């Protein structure tokens, strides 16, 4: 199995911090988010990781290199100045990710959740969900009999960690597009399973949230 870490984004909400460094290299308790994700990937027994590069991506490539220091083989999917968003970034990397299910992790989260490693035969993706945080009170999804559901009273937020089959992206065209509408459509069609993680998770989306995490985990 191969993992992909989505690290190309500009990190607008984290400005001015991300004016100088990519969001993936933002640190919590003295360790970058990216380092934590790479360690989690290795701990899961995965040895190949794709990282997409965009804003200040050269810093990421310099920091991680070949991945050998993490016990990994790291392959880069550069997007340059034409950052492709979540869906487009994954779609572009499909030739590298191969024909088997693959794990995807958003770089801008802080968590200790285990990576999902299995996928039921009747679904095209499996999402790790978390109880909706205060800053996203509307939530994203519900979970009904193990399947991700869309309704008006969503209790959970998508954590940014998932596993997908390549067929999930069948019919997509190359270019920039978000993942969220695809997730909602797949959930409506019963093609997404999910599970809830109640442990440590945070969307490092603003300088204030980053400060709070550093105070909590210093």
Q: CATH no. for residue 82?
A: 3.90.550.10
Say what the pTM is.
0.94
- Provide the domain limits for residue 138: 2-217
- 3 state DSSP class of 129: strand
Q: Which residues pair with 201 in a beta bridge?
A: 111
**pLDDT 10s digits, 7-57:** 998 888 889 989 999 999 999 989 999 999 999 999 999 999 999 999 999
CA angle at 151 for the pair 149 and 153, rounded to the nearest 5°: 115
Q: Which residues pair with 75 in a beta bridge?
A: 50
For a pLDDT cut of 90, what percent of the chain falls above it?
A: 79
137: confidence class by pLDDT, cuts 50, 70, 90:
low
**pLDDT 10s digits, 81-131:** 889 999 999 999 999 999 999 999 999 999 999 999 999 999 999 999 999
Query: What's the mean pLDDT in 185-201?
Result: 95
* Residue 10, number of CB atoms within 10 A of its CB: 15
User: How many domains in the chain?
Assistant: 1
Phi-psi region of 14 (alpha: psi -120 to 50; beta: other; left: phi over 0): alpha
């Amino acid at each position: 199995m191969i993992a992909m870490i989505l690290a190309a984004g500009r990190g607008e909400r984290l400005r001015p911090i991300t004016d100088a460094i990519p969001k993936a290299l933002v640190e919590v308790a003295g360790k970058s988010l990216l380092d934590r994700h790479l360690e989690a990937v290795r701990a899961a027994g995965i040895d190949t990781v794709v990282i997409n590069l965009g804003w200040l991506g050269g810093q990421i490539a310099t920091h991680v290199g070949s991945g050998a220091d993490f016990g990994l083989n790291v392959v880069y999917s550069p997007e340059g100045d034409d950052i492709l968003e979540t869906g487009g970034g994954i779609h572009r990397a499909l030739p590298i990710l191969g024909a088997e299910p693959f794990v995807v992790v958003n770089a801008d989260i802080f968590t200790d959740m285990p990576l999902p490693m299995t996928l039921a035969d009747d679904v095209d993706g499996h999402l790790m969900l978390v109880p909706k945080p205060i800053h996203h009170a509307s939530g994203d999804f519900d979970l009904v009999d193990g399947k991700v559901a869309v309704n008006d009273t969503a209790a959970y937020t998508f954590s940014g960690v998932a596993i997908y089959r390549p067929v999930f992206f069948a019919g997509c065209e190359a270019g920039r597009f978000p993942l969220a509408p695809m997730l909602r459509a797949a959930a409506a069609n019963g093609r997404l399973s999910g599970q809830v993680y109640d442990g440590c998770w945070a969307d490092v989306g603003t300088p204030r949230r980053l400060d709070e995490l550093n105070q909590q985990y210093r």
